Amino acid sequence: MILIHQLVIGLWLLSVLASTLFAATYYVSPTGNDTNDGTTETTPWGTVGKVNQTTFQPGERILFKAGGRWTGQLWPLGSGHAGAPITLGSYGKGAKPIIDAQGVDGTAAIKLFNQEYWIIEDMAVTNWADTYGKRWGIYIGANDGRIQHGLTVRGNTVSKVYASPIRTPAKDAGYPSFYRVGGIYFDIPAPGRADGVLIDGNDVTDIVGEGIIFYGQDVDHNNTMNYANCSPNVVIRNNTVSHTAADGIVMLGTDNELVEHNLVAYAGALGVVGTDYIAGMWPTRHINGVWQYNEVHHTKKWLGDGQGLDSDYYFQGTVIFQYNYSHDNEGGFLLDCVAPDAGQTIVRYNLSVRDPVVGVLYRGNALFYNNVFYSPGVALTGVLDGGTTHANKFYNNIFYCAGLHGLNGQIFSHNAYFGGITAMPEDASAITVNPKFVNPNSNDWQAGFQLQPESPCLAGGMLIPNNGGKDLWGNLVSTIEAPNVGVYGGRGNPEEDIPANRPPAIGPVKRPMEAKP
């Protein structure tokens, strides 16, 4: 039996190797001709239509010439398989090839449907119009109820997609909710799901709709959630999303998603009356998750919300927001929403600068520790849902502001308060003198929020179980000695105790460009 199993694996490996070695590469150029065979740079195809008529095989590549421009929806057919994905990309030197869907309703510039094992990279797409409609930049969808594997969208430029800025349009409006349209859109409804999605290093700008969204398992018509059908191995990293009408990045229906090193700026800025509720970055209908090393700023508040970060409805387990930089969001730092779920939001080692609201805390069990809330001269607020019993915990945070209102009755311990704020009455171990940041107003804001050697916040905190093990700069945070208060876990010698292997800066870390064929 073992020999048979080994033989099957060997035959599979041979098939993967063969499909990779002998897979064709097809070239597309504005000066090409569809009567060519397309298999060399000197005999390229010419049109999107020719590509759309072709079913590609595992390991094959479709490469558009750099600097070229094509109109219409690009929808190549076929699927790859594990170890031999199909690649859609570019060749030659110059600007990324542009696919312009020209605002035709119901189209994406690049589309896949019921297809798996694809890489879409180094393309530029646009889909602009002057009326609301159902449009996307890059759309990957399914309706076959299967698991969609191995889908990568990386290094693309998605700009000027005009769809819908309205959260709840009238039934006869003729256009969808903004939740159903956007720049990069994964649409994998139940009973299907995805396994292995990577959205990496894309620039997404000027989107009248969602910026980047993975839309998987949702609640059903009875408002119940099938958590067993959430999609695993979904990662969104290193993207820049700016100037949207709706949310910046949304994860819906995922299992332990990872969202890291992204920049979301001016989410909601292109909204209108009727946009109503958006946030910068948020998960919902999911199990667990980690959101880290992201920067989110200038999120617009319309009717409500407007936070940089949002831990939303229907989740189980723990979602962790850590090592993020949130600033200048109109609705504040964090929304901890609530519905019938059993989840907890953990908020640690984050910087919130000039966010007017610490948290809109409806769930009632959030854990905040080792964060910095820095808004000199401004009285910060918090919001609690009056219909919920609250036991939100705040440990080892620095509140550098003129006041803090709306969070009385919560659990506070070992926090620092300075800048005009009065310590919370619940905090028996409060620090009420200058925390002595290195220089929070310097251009190097990350270094600025470290602590000087004489800071009273050094070793002034309380031990937190399962504390993540490191601070914002990669310094180890002890599990047996008293930690610092704030985001900095070193010992007051910033030039000496930042590890050589410190984590990359907050925000996108662009992937190195690979050699093109």
Question: Mean pLDDT in the chain?
Answer: 93
**Amino acid letter at 242?**
S
Q: What is the mean pLDDT of residues 58-83?
A: 98
Task: Name which of 6-10, 235-239, 296-300, 449-453 the model is least confident about.
Answer: 6-10
- Given a cut of 60, whether residue 13 has pLDDT beyond it is no
Domain-embedded: residue 516? no
CB contact burial 94-119 (16+ within 10 A = b; e otherwise):
eebbbbbbebeeebbbbbbeebbbbb
423 in the same domain as 350: no
Whole-number Å distance between alpha carbons of 155 and 140: 16
463 in the same domain as 352: no
294 in the same domain as 414: no
Predicted confidence band at 9 (pLDDT cuts at 50, 70, 90)? very low
Determine the 3-state secondary structure of 416 from DSSP: strand
CA distances 184 to 9, 117, 200, 229, 254, Å, are: 36, 17, 11, 22, 16
135 in the same domain as 161: yes
pLDDT value for 509: 85
- Given a cut of 80, whether residue 111 has pLDDT beyond it is yes
Q: How many domains does the chain fold into?
A: 2
215 CB-near residues (< 8 Å, 6+ apart): 179, 180, 185, 186, 187, 188, 189, 250, 252, 253
Predicted confidence band at 443 (pLDDT cuts at 50, 70, 90)? confident
**Amino acid letter at 25?**
T
Domain-embedded: residue 514? no
Phi-psi region of 494 (alpha: psi -120 to 50; beta: other; left: phi over 0): alpha
278 burial class (0-12, 13-18, 19+ CB within 10 angstroms)? buried
Predicted confidence band at 14 (pLDDT cuts at 50, 70, 90)? very low
Domain-embedded: residue 511? no
483 in the same domain as 352: no
- Digit-coded pLDDT (tens) for 20-54: 567 999 999 999 999 999 999 999 999 999 999 99
471 in the same domain as 337: no
pLDDT value for 441: 87
Whole-number Å distance between alpha carbons of 406 and 292: 27
Position with higher pLDDT, 387 vs 355: 355
**Amino acid letter at 183?**
G
457 in the same domain as 363: no
Predicted confidence band at 515 (pLDDT cuts at 50, 70, 90)? low
Chain position carrying tokens 């409609």 = 133
pLDDT value for 444: 75
pLDDT value for 142: 98
Say how far residue 245 (Cα) sits from the centre of its chain: 16
SS3 labels along 242-296: EEECCCCEEEECEEEEEEECCEEECCCCCCCCCCCEECCEEEECEEEEEEECCEE
Whole-number Å distance between alpha carbons of 209 and 272: 11
- Digit-coded pLDDT (tens) for 301-324: 999 999 999 999 999 999 999 999
384 in the same domain as 439: no
99 in the same domain as 244: yes
Q: What is the mean pLDDT of residues 351-361?
A: 97
Q: How far apart are the first and last CA of the chain?
A: 43
481 in the same domain as 427: yes
pLDDT value for 343: 93
Domain-embedded: residue 10? no
Whole-number Å distance between alpha carbons of 247 and 285: 16
131 burial class (0-12, 13-18, 19+ CB within 10 angstroms)? exposed
Q: What is the mean pLDDT of residues 354-378?
A: 97
Whole-number Å distance between alpha carbons of 228 and 225: 9
Say how far residue 346 (Cα) sits from the centre of its chain: 17
382 in the same domain as 412: no
pLDDT value for 115: 98
pLDDT value for 385: 82
Whole-number Å distance between alpha carbons of 115 and 346: 36
CA distances 388 to 191, 357, 361, Å, are: 33, 19, 10
Domain-embedded: residue 6? no
Predicted confidence band at 511 (pLDDT cuts at 50, 70, 90)? low
Task: Name which of 440-444, 455-459, 500-504 the model is least confident about.
Answer: 500-504
Please compute Rg for the chain using Cα positions. Answer: 25
Contact present, 245 and 276 (Cβ < 8 Å): no
CA distances 276 to 166, 176, 269, 300, 371, Å, are: 8, 15, 12, 10, 29
357 in the same domain as 468: no
Domain-embedded: residue 324? yes
Domain-embedded: residue 64? yes
pLDDT value for 21: 61
Where does 66-192 show beta strands of DSSP type E? 69-71, 86-91, 98-100, 107-113, 118-121, 124-127, 135-141, 147-154, 157-162, 182-187
- Digit-coded pLDDT (tens) for 137-161: 999 999 999 999 999 999 999 999 9
- What angle (nearest 5°) sits at the alpha carbon of residue 172, between those of residues 170 and 176? 65
Domain boundary among 358, 390, 422: 390
pLDDT value for 442: 80
191 preceded by cis ω (within 30°)? yes
Residue-range definition of the domain harbouring residue 417: 368-377+391-502
- Digit-coded pLDDT (tens) for 408-439: 999 999 999 999 999 999 999 999 999 999 99
For the beta carbon of residue 147, count every other beta carbon within 10 angstroms. 16
Position with higher pLDDT, 126 vs 386: 126
- Digit-coded pLDDT (tens) for 471-487: 998 899 999 999 999 99
Domain-embedded: residue 80? yes
Query: Which CATH number goes with the domain that contains 28?
Result: 2.160.20
DSSP 482: P
- Digit-coded pLDDT (tens) for 273-292: 999 999 999 999 999 999 99
